[in-house]
Structure 1
Amino acid sequence: MEGLSKAEVDRLEAKALGPGPLRPRDAGTLILIDRQGSGFRVLMGRRHMRHAFMPGKYVFPGGRTDPTDSRVPVASALHPEEEAKLIAGVGRTSHARARAIALSAIRETYEEAGILIGEKGPFAASRAEWQAFAEHEVRPALSGLRMIARAITPPGRVRRYDTRFLAAWRGDAAAELAGGGPTDELEELVWLPLAEARQADIPEITRTVLGELEMQLADDPRLSPGRSVPCYRMVGKTFIRELL
């Protein structure tokens, strides 16, 4: 998407323009990867048509960051090199905020897909959003998360997000609930091979991030920490790709 004009980005995303500039809100998205022979599958779900934001599109689990997520106890912290990438780039992001973004991706993955990322062990939760982790004795773990990309919604949109796309392996899940998550954000949860995922009805930035993920897996199938990742954002009237 490097070098696209603002008009081209608007057409690709097909989103209405808002009346004025809005500050993008931090968000965390989790790409769950499942090894399938020599290939890989990713978990995606379709957003209900009644949603105002991206109705009917297939997306990864994720959502807006709650700053209080930073206070949730974890079994393991972010890898230092991955935390550095969460903090790097435009804007000011503290260590606590980086932790909150990562935990919000884990929380949203439970809420939308019923998958609990972490390690088995006693866990106490003071907030209702994390009670399922206590009930299933899963301690959220951050050490296995890998940042794949960052994307900031261009100015002028009805909703703007500063999204960190994180990845985790399906084996990092301590529990997968048969009934899915408690919210109705996503339906038709499916594991799709990367090639099929790119051909699904997905937002253009999701297609771009899938391409990034495929390149990273081809170069390093283990997704070792520390690799440079792209940040997509608007500078002037051009949508650019810069490395973090």
Structure 2
Amino acid sequence: MTKQRGLAGMSRAELDHAERKDFALGSGPLRPRDAATLILLDTSGQEVRVLMGRRHMKHAFMPGKFVFPGGRTDPADSRIPIAAGLHPAEESKLIGKRTSPTRARAIALSAVRETYEEAGILLGRKAEFATSKPDWQGFVENQVFPALDNLRFVARAITPPGRVRRFDTRFIAAFRHDIAVELPEGGPTNELEELVWLPIRDAKEADIPAITRSVLADLETRLANDPQLSPGGDVPFYYMRHNRFQRVIL
């Protein structure tokens, strides 16, 4: 397990060693692909719990690890109708030199879609909803109109070079009480072998990727100071630069 001194400041060799069981090392795409993952928070008990699932061992990316639901961003997601858009303070954090407002919307919606596909959880409003997009038919069938206004951007991490898969991942949080529908049979894909709600302190000790542990520690600190995750909060950003893993605040 990586000691929680944090990944920031590690050299590329140190990071490769720390993440040797998280990623398949080797030549991969030079440019990371946009991705999003959703951290669902259950605040109904004495301890905040997060939803995690175990990835199949056959995956080249984080095999056998507990992760949050998520995956690659589909540009077509930006054309899905929504009941409410991102809070302006959240949208401004997601927008960047290579991220337009349309792309930011697609990133957020991809987190919502992937959470349905992998966990059977639909975020939005219970209302009549229609689209011809195949990946969103679960929302049509359950009459859930996707909504983004309660999502919070809490972290960003770019997979370092030298991995078979590289992603520019935005970690987005939402609260369990904002779920419109939670399907008892789970989602339609088999990406995750099991789904569990874990207290954050237990999740940090589970078999999770090193970057996930760092993100959870950051989120735990933020929740202690701001339990409601007010819009526009600090967003830690992890990336490799000059052979050192950096952590800056967006």
Q: Normalising by the residue count of structure 2, what TM-score does the alignment of the two structures yield?
A: 0.94
Question: Secondary structure at the residue paired with 1:202?
Answer: coil
Q: 1:121 to 1:21 in 2, by over 3 A?
A: closer
- Following superposition, the deviation at residue 38 of structure 1 comes to 3.2
Distance of 2:138 and 2:24 partners within structure 1: 37
Aligned to 1:234: 240
> Partner of 1:199: helix, strand, or coil?
coil
Give the whole-Å Cα distance in 1 for the aligned partners of 2:72 and 2:138: 19
What secondary structure, in the 3-state scheme, does the structure 2 residue paired with 1:11 have?
Answer: helix
1:186 matched to 2:200: no
Q: Is the contact made by 2:87 and 2:231 (CA closer than 8 Å) also made in structure 1?
A: yes
Evaluate the alpha carbon distance shift between residue 49 and residue 17 of structure 1 in structure 2; reply closer, same or farther with a 3 A threshold: closer
Q: Which residue of 1 aligns with 2:76?
A: 68
Q: Deviations over 1:94-147 (max 9, x none)?
A: 000000000000000000000000000000011111011011010001000001
Corresponding pairs, count: 242
Residue 176 to residue 21, structure 1, CA distance change in 2 (3 Å): closer
1:104 aligned partner: 110
Q: 2:97 aligned with 1:86, yes or no?
A: no
Tell me which residue corresponds to 1:115: 121
Say if 2:216 is the partner of 1:210.
yes
Task: Using the TM superposition, give the Cα deviation of residue 236 of structure 1 relative to its aligned residue in structure 2, in angstroms.
Answer: 1.2
Match of 2:157 in 1: 151
Provide the residue aligned with 2:17 in structure 1: 11
Gaps of 5+ in 1: none
- The 5 A counterparts of 1:21-40 are 22-40=30-48
- For the residues of structure 2 that align with 1:96 and 1:195, how far apart are their CA atoms? 36
Q: Once the 2 structures are TM-superposed, how far is the Cα of residue 233 of structure 1 from its aligned partner?
A: 0.2
Aligned match of 1:41: 49
Output the amino acid matched with 2:88.
P
Q: Secondary structure at the match of 2:140?
A: helix
Deviation, structure 1 residue 21: 5.6
Question: Partners of 2:60 and 2:241 in 1: how far apart?
Answer: 27
Given candidates 122, 129, 138, the residue that maps to 1:132 is 138
How far apart are residue 172 of structure 1 and its match?
1.1
Q: Distance in 2 between matches of 1:142 and 1:16?
A: 33
SS in 2 for 1:37: coil
3-state DSSP class of the match of 1:39?
coil
> Partners in 1 of 2:56 and 2:159 — Cα distance?
21
Change (3 A) 1:50 1:80: same
Counterparts in 2 of 1:214 and 1:233: CA distance versus 1, 3 Å: same
**Hey, what does 1:53 align to over in structure 2?**
61
Equivalents in 2 of 1:17, 1:217: separation in Å? 34
Q: In the TM superposition, what is the alpha-carbon distance from 1:18 to its structure 2 partner?
A: 2.5
- What SS does the aligned partner of 2:38 have? strand
Report the 3-state secondary structure (helix = DSSP H, G, I; strand = E; otherwise coil) of the residue aligned with 1:168. Answer: strand
1:217 is displaced (CA, Å) by 0.3
Residue 53 of structure 1: how far off its partner (Å) = 1.6
- CA offset at residue 37 of structure 1? 2.7
SS in 2 for 1:111: helix
Give TM-score, length-normalised by structure 1: 0.97
Q: What is the aligned-residue identity percentage?
A: 67
Name the CA distance, whole Å, in 1 between partners of 2:80 and 2:29.
32
For residues 152-207 of structure 1, the C-alpha deviation after alignment (integer angstroms, 9 at most, x for no partner) is 01112111000000000011110000100000000210000001000000000000
Instruction: Kindly state the Cα deviation for residue 87 of structure 1 after the two structures are TM-superposed.
Output: 1.3
